[in-house]
Amino acid sequence: MSRSIETLYESCFGKTASSVIALPAHGSNRKLYRVSDGERTVIGVENEDKAENQAFLAFSRHFRKAGLSVPEIYGVGENETVYLEEDLGDQTLFDLLSSGKDVDGQIGEEVKSVYEKAVQQLSLFQISAGKSLDYSLCYPRHSFDRQSMMWDLNYFKYYFLKLANIPFNEQKLEDDFDVLTGFLLEAEDDFFLYRDFQSRNIMVKGGKPWFIDYQGGRRGALQYDVVSLLYDSKANLSEAFRAHLLDIYLESLPKDFLINREKFLKYFHGFVLIRIIQAMGAYGFRGFYERKAHFLQSVPYAIRNLENLLGSMQLSIEMPALTAALQLIVRSTKLREVASVALPLKVEIVSFSYKKGLPHDDSGHGGGFIFDCRALPNPGREEEFRSQTGHDENVVRWLESKEDVHSFLAHVRGILHQVVETYGRRNFTHLSVAFGCTGGQHRSVFCANQLARYLKEKLDISVELSHREFPET
């Protein structure tokens, strides 16, 4: 129980606090309390870092005056190491998300609504309220500049790569860090950057989002904050929902604010990358170094984000040493098993023609299976099937009548059944399976369709099915 908090409470409200309950502060060094006199409840904060307190208090008053949903400040101690703020309850957006998914992991409408409101308000912090903010109070840097970026990158290098025993060439990695920071600094950056805009820093009260923990805010680029929310590791948002929220965010920008969508997206993946790297550095410091196990729970989720990013990242720069280190992380079974979590597995199935080469693996980890269907009976040699494909009912019936085909698929299903179970236990989130034949028209298409149906129906696995030589089907 904090005597200084009790004294400040009595000074502010003229009543004695009857209850002072310590609250978890998670990754912060601040001490939080819920303080009450039986009628009123507030949050008391103790923090010896006066500069951090000054930033939070000044920003809170500024944003509150601008009409944004931030906690009211009731009082501050004389030495600025304690203060009282509005109690916004206990439910964060992450809590709502965790409880608001159905049995299939789909997000409910209430959760979607709060996320949409959150990204709509983000631009108000960044642009409208950010214009008149006193950036001299920013803590610990006035802007997300090269120095800030290098802090994050080196945090990742020393507390994640080294402690996770990921090998790298230090000089070449530093060279890539210079390339990445130079690229990101090209983005327009005259905006308020919230810095830690993620689901645990958004409270939910009355069905709307309320915002906290912006004391690390500074001047920076628009992309960083929306990336922070969309790629929040344990939130584990789907790619489709991320795209939806990004559209809403871009549409919410002030009408008189001219933004080049193409230019915005040019730097988007770069900010996704540095945000994931920053988060992994924090997980490494708190988890590997300070041995706080609950921070390691986020590592498999961060690896999944990294895996998806490596498969889709479009940047105009080359970073071979950094990319190599990231691919080693993605391929690490040990890191995926560092925590017991339940990540969904997606199996990507593709048919192809050997004449046109093997399919390209975009997953970033190089794993998967390629099954050669050329030893199977070939309907393409039959005149009536030559213009048809493995989708057509006549071809399907013909292949289903062949014992060799049944035996082949039985072996494939047996292998995949075992691998799917193992991947699930080890938190691997992607498995590629390819079926090839001479023309990529009959046997490979049929086998890909059959396996996709089996995995969906029997193992309830998410499947992405495509036919390289027939992309329209």
**What does the mean pLDDT of the chain come to?**
92
| Region of residue 60 (phi > 0: left; psi between -120 and 50: alpha; otherwise: beta) | alpha
The pLDDT of residue 473? 55
Residue 290 lies in a domain: yes
The pLDDT of residue 368? 86
Residue, of 84 and 420, whose pLDDT is higher: 84
Contact 136, 260 (CB under 8 A): no
**Whether residues 111 and 191 fall in one domain:** yes
**Whether residues 34 and 115 fall in one domain:** no
Query: Could you give the residue ranges of the DSSP H alpha helices within 284-354?
Result: 293-296, 299-312, 320-330, 333-336
Share of the chain above pLDDT 90, in %: 76
Over 80: is that where the pLDDT of 321 sits? yes
What tens digit of pLDDT does each residue of 217-228 get? Answer: 999 999 999 999
* Final residue in a domain of this structure, among 86, 101, 131: 86
Domain span holding position 222? 93-336
Q: What is the pTM of this model?
A: 0.78
In sign, the C-alpha dihedral spanning 237, 269, 144, 140 is positive
**Whether residues 39 and 115 fall in one domain:** no
Residue 144 lies in a domain: yes
CATH number at residue 161: 3.90.1200.10
Residue 119 lies in a domain: yes
Residue 473 lies in a domain: no
Contact 320, 437 (CB under 8 A): no
Nearest to 275 by CA among 250, 242, 253, 240: 242
**Whether residues 213 and 247 fall in one domain:** yes
What tens digit of pLDDT does each residue of 270-298 get? Answer: 999 999 999 999 999 999 999 888 899 89
The pLDDT of residue 105? 57
Alpha-carbon gap, residue 343 to 469, rounded angstroms:
31
Over 50: is that where the pLDDT of 1 sits? no
What tens digit of pLDDT does each residue of 229-260 get? Answer: 999 988 989 889 999 999 999 999 887 676 77
The pLDDT of residue 367? 66
* Final residue in a domain of this structure, among 313, 336, 359: 336
**Whether residues 188 and 239 fall in one domain:** yes
**Whether residues 82 and 99 fall in one domain:** no
Residue 59 lies in a domain: yes
Contact 381, 434 (CB under 8 A): no
Name 465's bridge partners: 349
Residue 341 lies in a domain: no
Domain tally, the chain: 3
For strands 430-437 and 462-467, give the pairing: unpaired
* Final residue in a domain of this structure, among 285, 303, 336: 336
CATH number at residue 74: 3.30.200.20
**Whether residues 42 and 179 fall in one domain:** no
Share of the chain above pLDDT 70, in %: 96
The pLDDT of residue 146? 96
CA dist list (Å): 365 to 304, 327, 330, 458, 466 = 11, 6, 6, 26, 20
Alpha-carbon gap, residue 332 to 340, rounded angstroms:
15
Residue 472 lies in a domain: no
**Whether residues 429 and 351 fall in one domain:** yes
The pLDDT of residue 364? 54
Over 50: is that where the pLDDT of 140 sits? yes
Residue 422 lies in a domain: yes
**Whether residues 80 and 122 fall in one domain:** no
**Whether residues 396 and 328 fall in one domain:** no
**Whether residues 24 and 165 fall in one domain:** no
**Whether residues 193 and 312 fall in one domain:** yes
The pLDDT of residue 336? 87
The pLDDT of residue 103? 42
Alpha-carbon gap, residue 49 to 27, rounded angstroms:
15
